[in-house]
């Protein structure tokens, strides 16, 4: 697929296009569209979180981890990022590292262990 199409249009048009690719389960393509959007607006959570999700679903786990850690550095109370980082680490065979993030996500959601 030509990358010029992916890069064409305003940021809003590219955001919408990325969402369409994500919904179509074309996660790697969605990530390619989202990368420059997230880099161009690091203060915006939505593109960065969708980029992390696209990386996760396209099995780009190291990229997902890197993006999620950056998100949590800026937004430490972002419960979905906590959960997704935990799931990313689990999927990468790092269950022990995942536990604190999964516990934090559960606590933020009001789910406490007995």
Q: What is the pLDDT of residues 38-65, one digit of tens each?
A: 999 999 999 999 999 999 999 999 999 9
DSSP conformation letters of 34-100: HHHHHHH-TT-HHHHHHHHHHHHHTT-HHHHHHHHHHHHHH-TT-HHHHHHHHHHHHHTT-HHHHHH
Q: What is the per-residue pLDDT for 81?
A: 97
User: Looking at the predicted structure, is the pLDDT value of residue 1 above 70?
Assistant: no
Give the pTM: 0.89
What is the C-alpha to C-alpha distance for residues 69 and 75, in angstroms, rounded to an integer?
A: 10
């Amino acid at each position: 697929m030509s990358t010029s199409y992916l890069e064409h249009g305003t940021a809003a048009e590219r955001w919408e296009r990325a969402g369409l690719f994500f919904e179509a389960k074309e996660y790697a393509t969605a990530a390619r569209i989202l990368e420059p959007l997230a880099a161009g607006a690091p203060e915006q959570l939505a593109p960065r979180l969708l980029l992390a999700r696209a990386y996760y679903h396209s099995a780009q786990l190291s990229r997902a981890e890197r993006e999620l850690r950056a998100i949590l550095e800026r937004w430490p109370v972002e419960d979905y990022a906590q959960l997704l980082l935990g799931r990313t680490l689990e999927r990468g065979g790092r269950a022990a590292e995942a536990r604190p993030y999964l516990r934090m996500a559960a606590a933020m959601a009001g789910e406490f262990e007995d």
